[in-house]
Amino acid sequence: MAVRSFQARLLYLLIAILVLLDAGTLISVYVAGQRTLRNTIADQLRVGSRVLNRILDTRASQLSDSLRVLALDFAFREAVASADVPTITSVLANHGRRIAADAVVLVNLNGIVTADTLGGRLQGRPFPFAALLRSAQDRGEASATVSFVNRPYQFVIVPVLAPRPIAWVCAGFEIDDRVMTDVRRLTSLDISIWVSGDDFHIAPDESKYATLVEALPTGDGSRVNALLARNLAEARKPFLRLELQIFVLSTIIFIIAVFAAVIFARTVSHPLQVLAEGAGRVERGDYVTKIVVEQEDEIGHLATAFNQMQSAIATREDEIRYQATHDALTGLPNRTLFLDRLSYAIAGAKRNVGPAIGIIMMDVDRFKEINDTLGHQVGDQLLIDIGRRLEQTLRQSDTVARLGGDEFAVMFTAPTFKHAEDVAARIVGAFDAPIILGDVSIDVNASLGIALYPAHADDAGTLMRHADIAMYDAKRDHSGIAVYEPGRDEHTLRRLSLIMDLRQAIARDELELYFQPKADVRSERVAHAEALVRWNHPRHGVMRPDEFIPLAEQSGKISLITKWVIRKAIAQCAEWRREGLELAVAVNLSALDLYDSELPVFISGLLTEAGLPPASIVLEITESAVMKDAAFAQKMLADLKRRGVCLAIDDFGTGYSSLAHLKRLPVDELKIDKSFVLNLSEGAADDLVIVRSTIELGHNMGLVVIAEGVETAESWEILKRLGCDMAQGYFMSKPLPAEAFKAWLRASRWGSA
């Protein structure tokens, strides 16, 4: 806006200058024109006056000439000499008519009129124009303009010579229209002549005429005046044309100049406008778009300075925004930013019907104590490390924030309820290992409150409040994790608290191995014992792996458990051996264990340590685990096989193994899943076909085939008939604790060697 008005002001200024210039030119042209006009008219009038005088002079001398001819006429002279008045009068009349004189008078040397053509009106009287006569006496002849019978006249007087003057002859001519016409013709002036004292008077309109009044010389009392007048309109005509031309020309120049001024104003104001737009962009928060002014002048420098200022503002604003949205200690987003992102995520989820969002609020237990006993520096460092662990536990796209004090919050997409639990479990898992600060080892326990969008709240603020409530529930119940009330079903809570408990299970020695016999079908003797883990939970009692192995897998605990089981199984195997029980012990591996590349070395190491032949350990891997990443599993199994460990495919028939893959796997045993075996004794024809063909398949591939889930003697018999190598099931024994297993084996017919 300001720039536009600058451009306008510049333009107005330029146009004003142009208008002044133009007006000045026109005015001076007009003034000069007027002056010239005035001078010209004055000249014309002066010239007119001269012309009039010249015409009168010429006329006078012409009249004198013709009068002289009369004066020389012999008969006339004789008549004068003889004072023959009638003859004289007749000659005067004749001659006067010839020369078109209006009056002819003969004057004697005494100045008395002796004859006239006026009917003797002047006869005997003194000649009325004494001055004229005197002048003629002085110079020989004379002429004058006079007032005669109140009319303007020209009178000439010449002597009658014989040879000396004997009289004067005088002729008068009225100054009539012919004189005026001559003057008008020669000067383009209007003229009128009158006798003063006469009422004859033209009153020329001064606005239309320029006039000059001339008193013609008479030499006698009365006056003859001539008025010369110039028509102003006419006189101005050429000037008007010139002025019009100049006006048109200057108008054209003016229009061109205005165009030029507009272009100039734009040129000058455009870079300013660009600067103003740039400033406007900065005001709107655009710190990226630079000003482009390709000028080397002051405006160019201004643009450069402006761009630098823009970057500086951007940097500073970034800093300020960072400080405003981040926690100074940990560098994590603060409550403001967390709330912001949460609102944004919820808005996005609402719009796109996107995935649900989960938040977890976490409060470090007994942080105040830690702070008070170990000092603020340790406390600060602890908070930093906690933030770091949280970040490492979560995905890059998740948000970890410090809300203040010892309170943290995380936000993540939670497509399912279970997903949120997994995240909580992972967080708990992240603090299994103590945080080491200098020479202090700090066990971090925290209370976690979970709340989900859209299940628990519709907006960010409410969701955070709900997570907060859940967190205090967790603190109060010492449950570690709590979900906001409406979603707090038994199952979830149990799972979550189990995850918490699992951390301590190994340390508190709550895990135990049970053993179930695998008997050789032909010899009817126990050949292997399958180790099956149990968890003696302080509150829930003996727990089966189906319930806690998946939790261990989710919370990253599975490899710890697998290693514990393997160590325990090998130890048990070695112990039995020392006691004279030669049994191979089977251990179940989780699908995740196949990714633990340390496992083969770990197992070999333990076997060597225990002094056991590698084949005394059988590793059972489910068919689906093997098929999940067949190439990877194959490598892992090959490694284990090279080390002499026995391998079995567990739950065979439940997955979809490709025979091609199966053929390539370096396994020794095939365990037919119990779902095909359990109903064999009830004459399930389908199962019989499957079991029979599986046994044949296994044998064709050179594998030992074992059936699990053998509960009856009939099933046993069928398997024996089908040529199955080994059997496992309640028909022989349920899984038993190590001591019970040993006792059973000693007492049972399956064990007596």
Q: What is the DSSP code (8-state) at residue 612?
A: -
Nearer to ligand G, 411 or 565 (CB): 565
* Backbone φ and ψ of 463, nearest 5°: -60, -40
The CA-atom distances, in angstroms, between 580 and each of 426, 586, 751 are: 44, 18, 12
Least Cβ distance, residue 625 to ligand G (angstroms)? 9
* Token reading at 223: 């006056």
The CA-atom distances, in angstroms, between 646 and each of 215, 528, 596, 667 are: 159, 11, 18, 7
Judged by CB under 6 A, the residue of 709, 736, 738, 745 near ligand G is 709
Which does residue 572 touch among ligand G, Mn ion, none (CB within 5 to 8 A, set by kind)? none
Least Cβ distance, residue 715 to ligand G (angstroms)? 9
Least Cβ distance, residue 427 to ligand G (angstroms)? 24
Is 653 a binder of ligand G (CB under 6 A)? no
Which residues contact residue 752 at a Cβ distance below 8 angstroms, ignoring those fewer than 6 apart?
A: none
Least Cβ distance, residue 407 to ligand G (angstroms)? 37
Which does residue 604 touch among Mn ion, ligand G, none (CB within 5 to 8 A, set by kind)? none
CB 117 within 8 A of CB 190: no
Nearer to ligand G, 413 or 728 (CB): 728
Distance between CA atoms of 120 and 140, rounded to whole angstroms? 26
Least Cβ distance, residue 499 to ligand G (angstroms)? 17
Distance between CA atoms of 104 and 94, rounded to whole angstroms? 10
Cα 68 to its chain centre, rounded Å, is 111
Nearer to Mn ion, 45 or 705 (CB): 705
Angle between helices 545-554 and 490-505 (to 10 degrees): 80
Q: Considering only CA atoms, which of 123, 91, 93 is closest in space to residue 108?
A: 123
Nearer to ligand G, 153 or 514 (CB): 514
Is 549 a binder of ligand G (CB under 6 A)? yes
Nearer to Mn ion, 474 or 706 (CB): 706
Judged by CB under 6 A, the residue of 198, 639, 711, 714 near ligand G is 711
Applying CB under 5 A, which part among 262-270, 466-474, 538-546, 584-592 lies near Mn ion? 584-592
Restricting to residues 606-665, name those near Mn ion by CB under 5 A: 620, 650
Is 516 a binder of ligand G (CB under 6 A)? yes
Nearer to ligand G, 214 or 623 (CB): 623
Q: What is the DSSP code (8-state) at residue 208?
A: T
Nearer to ligand G, 77 or 671 (CB): 671
Distance between CA atoms of 504 and 600, rounded to whole angstroms? 26
CB 335 within 8 A of CB 401: yes
Nearer to Mn ion, 468 or 650 (CB): 650
Judged by CB under 6 A, the residue of 428, 533, 618, 645 near ligand G is 533
Instruction: Please name the helix (run of DSSP H) or strand (run of DSSP E) that holds residue 585, with its range, or none.
Output: strand 584-589
Question: Closest residue (Cβ) to ligand G?
Answer: 729
Which does residue 651 touch among Mn ion, ligand G, none (CB within 5 to 8 A, set by kind)? ligand G
Distance between CA atoms of 67 and 98, rounded to whole angstroms? 10
Nearer to ligand G, 141 or 650 (CB): 650
What is the SS3 assignment for 371-383?
A: HHHHCHHHHHHHH
Restricting to residues 611-630, name those near ligand G by CB under 6 A: 620
Burial state string for 664-687 with b = 16 or more CB within 10 A and e = fewer than 16: ebebbbbbbbbebbbbbbeeeeeb
Least Cβ distance, residue 602 to ligand G (angstroms)? 15
Which does residue 669 touch among ligand G, Mn ion, none (CB within 5 to 8 A, set by kind)? none
Burial state string for 272-305 with b = 16 or more CB within 10 A and e = fewer than 16: bebbbebeebbeeeebeeebebeeeeebeebbee
Applying CB under 6 A, which part among 446-454, 473-481, 577-585, 707-715 lies near ligand G? 707-715
Distance between CA atoms of 542 and 531, rounded to whole angstroms? 15
Least Cβ distance, residue 607 to ligand G (angstroms)? 17
Residue with tokens 């004459």: 683
Least Cβ distance, residue 361 to ligand G (angstroms)? 33
Nearer to Mn ion, 151 or 518 (CB): 518
What's the sign of the alpha-carbon dihedral 403, 406, 411, 416?
Answer: negative
- Within 73-84, residue ranges assigned H as helices are 74-81
Least Cβ distance, residue 650 to ligand G (angstroms)? 5
- Within 73-173, residue ranges assigned H as helices are 74-81, 85-98, 130-139
Nearer to ligand G, 533 or 745 (CB): 533
Nearer to ligand G, 340 or 596 (CB): 596
Applying CB under 5 A, which part among 431-439, 445-453, 487-495, 583-591 lies near Mn ion? 583-591
Number of residues that bind ligand G (CB under 6 A): 24
Is 505 a binder of ligand G (CB under 6 A)? no
Least Cβ distance, residue 514 to ligand G (angstroms)? 7
Judged by CB under 5 A, the residue of 117, 588, 590, 728 near Mn ion is 588
Applying CB under 6 A, which part among 13-21, 39-47, 77-85, 708-716 lies near ligand G? 708-716
Least Cβ distance, residue 753 to ligand G (angstroms)? 23
Distance between CA atoms of 495 and 489, rounded to whole angstroms? 10
Least Cβ distance, residue 550 to ligand G (angstroms)? 10
* Backbone φ and ψ of 736, nearest 5°: -130, 150
Restricting to residues 712-741, name those near ligand G by CB under 6 A: 728-730, 735
Least Cβ distance, residue 734 to ligand G (angstroms)? 7
Least Cβ distance, residue 577 to ligand G (angstroms)? 21
Nearer to ligand G, 257 or 625 (CB): 625
Judged by CB under 6 A, the residue of 105, 113, 409, 532 near ligand G is 532
Number of residues that bind Mn ion (CB under 5 A): 3
Burial state string for 350-360 with b = 16 or more CB within 10 A and e = fewer than 16: eeeeebbbbbb
Task: Tell me how many helices (H) and strands (E) the chain has.
Answer: 23, 25
Please state whether 126 falls in left (phi above 0), alpha (psi between -120 and 50) or beta. Answer: beta
Judged by CB under 6 A, the residue of 421, 623, 708, 725 near ligand G is 708
Positions in the binding site for ligand G (CB under 6 A): 516, 532-533, 544-546, 549, 562, 565, 588-590, 620, 650-651, 674, 708-711, 728-730, 735
User: Interface with Mn ion by CB under 5 A: which residues?
Assistant: 588, 620, 650
